[in-house]
Structure 1
Amino acid sequence: MTQTSSQSASPPPSAASPQAAASGRSPYVADAVRAAVEQGLLGGHSPVAGFIDTDGVRDSVAALRDAFAGTPGVLHTFAAKAAALIPVLRLLADCGMGCEVASPGELRLALDAGFAPSDIVLDSPVKTREEIRLALALGVAVNADSLDELRRIDELRSPDTVSVLGLRVNPQVGGGSIGAMSTATATSKFGVALRDAGAREAVVRAFGERPWLTRLHAHVGSQGCPLDLIAAGIGATYRLAEEINGRLGTRQITSLDIGGGLPVNFADDTVRPAYTDYVAALTEAVPGLFDGRYALVTEFGRSLLAKNGFIGALVEYTKDAGGRRVAITHAGAQTATRTVLMPDAWPLRVGAFGADGRPKEGPPLAQDIAGPCCFAGDVVAYGRELPELREGDFVVLYDTGAYYFSAPWAYNSLPRPAVHGFRATAGGAGAEVVFAPVRDAQSLDSIAAECGLAHADALTVPGGGPARPA
């Protein structure tokens, strides 16, 4: 079965009844909001915070494993960029996941989180010699992004390295509905462009010259990429592996890194497409992929975390402008950067909660949900039908467990919010919710340090800065 699913094809986020708007994926979101307000994790002293449903994360990992249960030799890695938080990464390691990293910082986080080097995959289009040298010394798998990078690995690799080494190719099968998320277009910066003149032959030759090169990697894209497009890219990569092995007369390529990219439905609570849909689409398009001849690596990120997290924010003021109600909150572009800057591509559902942390009741009113940043476009949602918000109420941005905690924007020097993990004993009234710290809120001292406090006099003290023109 090939299922086409992309974000652009989804209806806009629902603003149905307040109860529906407040439910989220987890039945415990409303309980968590209430408990966070009661315990002071969300309120006047903490006007914006992030929350991660740890049981939901475990359930998502289990669903991924179940979908691939019939396939031997699969390493599921989590794309660290989707939640670059050590406690979250350690939770995923505890679930048996590996980790995909794309920078020295992410590699450090993965190691600190407890991932074994053999379960870490380094992907990046701009690896330095030092990054490659460190990865090889640790035994981390490396996917070279270009033929030039392979030549660097030639220089740096020792015969006794245990790192699995691969090459990323771009099957050039096209893009999805969000261009910035599509990595298999004709001019993508990632991988070796297979359909360019001479490129395919160069890839075959590169493997023939390097018996230690045993993995082929491709990633078509993520949000906005339908399953048939993803399957087409993986199918092209599989056929290339078969061709290389056939021409070399040996099964030199023993594993395929098929990336991640399962799109997330941000329109409602439904998890669609599911991992079972993904496996079914690939089974139909690439029947031999799951027969065990190739070990597989996956690199899912957003689909594992998005629906297991939310952002809560205090409504500081409300006002009317041009006949439209505007709720001014503490969650804007600094926490929901993609949604604010690309609202059509990254819409979010919004829930309305009262000052007591419970879902608001009342007739729907069209309201803009604006953030704290000093530019007019800092609006998370326009004209959203919600119970009337007032000063002291709270809004919840659903499905923000992936990227929204790891890609903050430092505009206006607003502090990064705290992030908390939570578990609930049962849904409904009286449920007990237990929180655990994931990241502390950034302090003003930290902001000042990041902004050069230690060098405050460097440009003004005589002899300490550039000379003043005569």
Structure 2
Amino acid sequence: MTALAPAAARRERILQAAVRQGLLHPGRSRLAGFVDLDGVAATVASLHRAFPSSAPVLHAFAAKANSLVPVLAELRRLGMGCEVATAGELARALAAGFAPERIVFDSPAKTEAELRYALDLGVTVNVDNYQELARIDRALAGRVPASKIGVRVNPQLGGGSIAAMSTATTTSKFGVPLADPGSRQRLLRAYHDHPWLTWVHTHAGSQGCPLDLMAGGVARAVAFAEEVNASLGRRQVVGIDIGGGLPVNFADDETTPTFDTYVGQLRAQAPALFSGRYGIVTEFGRSVLAKNGFTAAYVEYTKSMGGRRIAVTHAGVQVATRTVFNPDAWPLRIEAHDGSGRAKRGGPVRQDVAGPACFAGDLLARDRPLPPLEPGDLVSVPDTGAYYFSTPFHYNSLPEPAVHGFRTGGDDDDVRFELLRPAQDPWEVPEPGAGDVPLRRWPHETVPVVG
């Protein structure tokens, strides 16, 4: 019998512990997300090690990747800051205990009220466009800001293999273009006219973008910062926000590319970034959390259709939205387990792994070779610690699943779970206009009989 690889064996161990402790149960908890808090700590440590100590660096976790407040609080304790893209994410970052000066606010649609609130707090703001710049100018009314303020520049280098994840294309909706006719000169004037513009921000894209493209975008941002300081004859730009976007390997358990590899690319293409003349902010999200989380769900039914086996599970579009709607760009691995959490060893059979939503495309995997799945089995879905169960899609009013963090000791039985988000009760329906007062509530163990 072939032994499981270490990462797969660890997931098996966690699943078995979750079943023993009742966190997964075919009658009560059919779907759950799990976050490896030991793995998160190791990943954050590797990020800190990858960047040199020659310049101050703030690693601001991109809250969009996993905005659960306990997860954000854990990252704060590990020494990270927080990058937010909405007022909701800002509220969560503050609730997680981040100091305002360690929060970075990026959004292409900041309202005047949001800007004033961020500036009053001293949150760092990256300006997306000239109209936003004018709003900030009015809000400051001649005051010296407590916030660090920069402008997001679009280096217009092109895109990667996933168009939706590429933000440095010629016509991207983000930032101020550097290559459009006259745009660079206008932006230089803006820095001249606003001495409180002391940072430059860029972000070329994420999944599907090659490292040389990402590093090339940073190089153009650094070159622009150097140009600003040279043209003004003073060191006005003191920091570069290089964004995040390190791609994740979804094909297996290897972590590649690494933060070290990316820093090597940055050193080659943007050596001035590490000259000590600039502070640095990073905004990594998916690369910090994706491989430190997995989803687990029970198989409810199996059937055969047109010669194809189909396993219907409780994990689908509500926790794997990108994969369901764009499976070629966001493929996920599936692992088969029996009801106790033990990995299944049978010979592979090609089968679809479907979700519970009421449309034909709700599939986690198509024609995937797996040990034969049966009702009561479990499937685990690795690499879903970012964007998947933490960002649920409420199609069919499917409830949000519980999310559990875990830490382990040396003993196989030493798995300690902590609740990061409780499961939503699908039977709690609010009265119209009554806030959170339930219309009717069914206990989890009760299945209502209709008709």
Give the TM-score normalised by the residue count of structure 2: 0.94
* Residue of structure 1 equivalent to 2:191: 207
Gap change, CA 1:455 and 1:396, over 3 Å in 2: closer
Match of 1:100 among 79, 83, 96: 83
Q: Give the structure 2 partner of residue 5 of structure 1.
A: none
Aligned residue for 2:253?
Answer: 269
How much does 1:161 deviate? Answer: 2.8
Match of 1:286 among 270, 273, 292: 270
2:308 is equivalent to residue 324 of structure 1:
yes
CA spacing shift, 1:27–1:240, aligned 2, 3 Å: farther
Find the partner of 1:236 among 215, 220, 229. Answer: 220
One-letter amino acid of the counterpart of residue 303, structure 2: K
- Which digits, 9 at most, give the CA deviation of each residue in 1:412-435, with x for residues without a partner? 0010100000011137xx342110
- Residue 47 (str. 1) matches residue 30 (str. 2): yes
For residue 399 of structure 2, what is the amino acid of its counterpart?
P
Partner of residue 80, structure 1: 63
Partner of 2:423: 441
What letter corresponds to residue 209 of structure 1 in structure 2? D
Match of 1:370 among 350, 354, 363: 354
- Could you tell me how far 1:452 is from its partner in structure 2? 4.2
- Structure 2 counterpart of 1:6: none
CA distance in 2, matches of 1:215, 1:381: 44
2:441 aligned partner: none
Q: Is the 8 A contact 2:357 2:396 kept in 1?
A: yes
Q: Which amino acid aligns with 2:65?
A: A
Q: Per the alignment, do residues 359 and 453 of structure 1 end up closer, same or farther by CA in structure 2, a change over 3 Å counting?
A: farther
| Residues 28, 424 of structure 1: 8 Å contact kept | no
Aligned position for 1:193: 177
Residue of structure 1 in register with 2:104 after alignment: 121
**What amino acid maps onto 1:454 in structure 2?**
A
Q: Residue 24 of structure 1: CA displacement?
A: 7.3
Alignment of 1:60-459 (within 5 A): 60-157=43-140, 159-426=143-410, 430-444=412-426, 448-449=429-430, 452=432, 454=434
Q: 1:437 to 1:378 in 2, by over 3 A?
A: same
- Aligned counterpart, 1:466: none
The answer to whether the Cα contact below 8 Å between 1:18 and 1:386 also exists between their aligned partners in 2 is no
Bigger RCO (CA 8 Å, 6+ sep): 1
Cα 1:294–1:27 change in 2 (3 A) is farther
Q: Which structure 1 segments of 5+ residues have no match? A: 1-16, 457-470
Residues 24, 269 of structure 1: 8 Å contact kept: no
Structure 1 residue 358, shift from structure 2 partner = 0.8
SS at match of 1:454: coil
| TM value normalised by structure 1 | 0.90
CA deviation string 1:69-100 (max 9, x = no partner): 34421010000000010000000000000000
Q: Work out whether residues 299 and 373 of structure 2, in 8 Å CA contact, stay in contact via their aligned partners in 1.
A: yes
| Structure 2 counterpart SS, 1:300 | coil
Q: Counterparts of 1:368 and 1:19 in 2: how far apart (Å)? A: 25
How far apart are the structure 1 equivalents of 2:425 and 2:54?
A: 47
The whole-number CA distance in structure 2 between the counterparts of 1:19 and 1:400 is: 23
Deviation at 1:29, TM superposition (A): 1.3
Residue 67 of structure 1 aligns with an amino acid whose one-letter code is A
Distance 2:88 2:96 in 1: 12
**Could you say if the C-alpha distance between residues 249 and 301 of structure 1 is closer, same or farther in structure 2, counting changes exceeding 3 Å?**
same
1:101 deviates by 0.3
**Distance (Å, rounded) in 2 between the aligned partners of 1:206 and 1:25:** 51
Say whether the 8 Å CA contact 1:339–1:348 is kept in structure 2.
yes
Corresponding letter in the other structure for 2:22: G
The alpha-carbon deviation at position 130 of structure 1 amounts to 0.2
How much does 1:454 deviate? 3.0
Give the secondary-structure state (helix, strand or coil) at the position aligned to 1:233. Answer: helix
State which of 3, 7, 11 in structure 2 corresponds to 1:29.
Answer: 11
Query: Equivalents in 2 of 1:43, 1:370: separation in Å?
Result: 19
Give, in whole Å, the separation in 2 of the partners of 1:249 and 1:201.
16
- Indicate the percent of aligned positions where both proteins have the same amino acid: 56
Output the CA distance in 2 between the equivalents of 1:26 and 1:210. Answer: 54
RMSD: 1.6
Q: 1:106 is paired with a residue of what secondary structure?
A: helix
Q: Quick one: structure 1 residues 33 and 18, their matched pair in 2 at CA, closer, same or farther if it must change by over 3 Å?
A: farther
Distance 1:452 1:194, change over 3 A: farther
CA gap 1:278/1:27 in 2 versus in 1, 3 angstroms: farther
Gaps of 5+ in 2: 437-451
SS in 1 for 2:434: helix
Amino acid at match of 2:97: G
Count of residues paired in the alignment: 434
Contact 2:202 2:217 in 1 (8 A): yes
Amino acid at match of 2:15: V
Q: Distance in 2 between matches of 1:215 and 1:309?
A: 34
- Measure the CA separation in 2 of the matches of 1:50 and 1:171: 37
Greater CA deviation, 26-35 or 132-141?
Answer: 26-35
Residue identity in the other structure for 1:438: L
2: distance between equivalents of 1:452 and 1:76? 43
Distance 1:53 1:455, change over 3 A: closer
- Per the alignment, do residues 455 and 65 of structure 1 end up closer, same or farther by CA in structure 2, a change over 3 Å counting? closer
Q: Deviations over 1:91-114 (max 9, x none)?
A: 000000000001110000000001
The Cα shift of 1:345 comes to 0.4
Q: In structure 2, what is the Cα distance between the partners aligned to 1:357 and 1:25?
A: 15
Q: 1:314-358 deviations in whole A, cap 9, x for unaligned? A: 000000111111100000001100000000000011100001111
- Deviations along 1:384-411, whole A, 9 cap, x unmatched? 1111110000000100000113321111
